[in-house]
């Protein structure tokens, strides 16, 4: 039986990012463990991603990570693989998109983790990072 989902399919629009006619927001306040710690291309070898939010606006995609307030900015028309972070080279665009992202999170009551994990072990994490 077919599953009914709310919203509109963006499948065809993702084939040509410049045709997306509205801002898209993604929010993931969680950790996603790496499938293959040696080959995944995440921010670090332990996780495919760390908690954060993303906005795609026109050709631009901005990642905002909660742990370190880190920003990554990509021009999807030139860098679909997101390998050239332009956040420091394009601070005005980064700031504009971060403001849009913050407004969206506030309007949607997006949960942002802000409590320290009492079970976090910095030594253990560094040990794992050095194994890779």
Q: Taking the complete model, does pTM exceed 0.85, yes or no? A: no
> Do 111 and 29 form a contact (C-beta atoms < 8 A)?
yes
In CATH terms, 15-131 corresponds, of 3.40.640.10, 3.40.50.12780, 3.20.20.140, 3.30.1120.10, to 3.30.1120.10
Please, which pLDDT band fits residue 27 given cuts at 50, 70 and 90?
A: very high
pLDDT of residue 38 exceeding 70:
no
* Among 21-30, 32-41, 61-70, 83-92, the range of highest mean pLDDT: 83-92
CA distance to 23, 29, 54, 58, per residue, from 110 (Å): 16, 9, 12, 22
pLDDT band at 11 (very low <50, low <70, confident <90, very high): confident
Average pLDDT over the chain, rounded to an integer? 83
* Gap between the Cα atoms of 33 and 125, Å rounded: 13
- Which pLDDT belongs to residue 127? 81
Once rounded to an integer, what is the mean pLDDT over residues 32-57?
A: 74
Distance, in Å, from the CA atom of 44 to the CA atom of 31, rounded to the nearest integer, reads: 12
Q: What percent of the chain has pLDDT over 90?
A: 45
For the CA atoms of the chain, what is the radius of gyration? 17
pLDDT bin (cut points 50, 70, 90) of residue 5 is low
pLDDT score recorded for residue 55: 97
User: What is the token pair recorded at 54?
Assistant: 């993303």
Q: CA-CA distance, 71 to 93, in Å (whole number)? A: 11
Residues 6 or more apart whose Cβ sits within 8 Å of residue 55 = 23, 24, 25, 26, 61, 62, 97, 100, 101, 104
């Amino acid at each position: 039986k077919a599953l009914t989902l709310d919203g509109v399919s963006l499948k065809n629009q993702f084939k040509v990012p410049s045709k997306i006619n509205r801002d898209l927001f993604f929010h993931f306040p969680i950790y996603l463990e790496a499938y293959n710690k040696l080959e995944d291309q995440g921010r670090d070898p332990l996780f495919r991603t760390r908690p954060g939010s993303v906005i795609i606006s026109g050709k631009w995609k901005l990642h905002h990570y909660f742990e370190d307030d880190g920003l990554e900015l990509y021009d999807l028309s030139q860098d679909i693989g997101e390998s050239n972070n332009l956040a420091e080279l394009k601070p005005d665009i980064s700031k504009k998109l971060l403001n849009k992202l913050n407004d969206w999170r506030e309007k949607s009551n997006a949960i942002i983790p802000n409590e320290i994990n009492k079970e976090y072990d910095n030594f253990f994490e560094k040990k794992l990072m050095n194994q890779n």
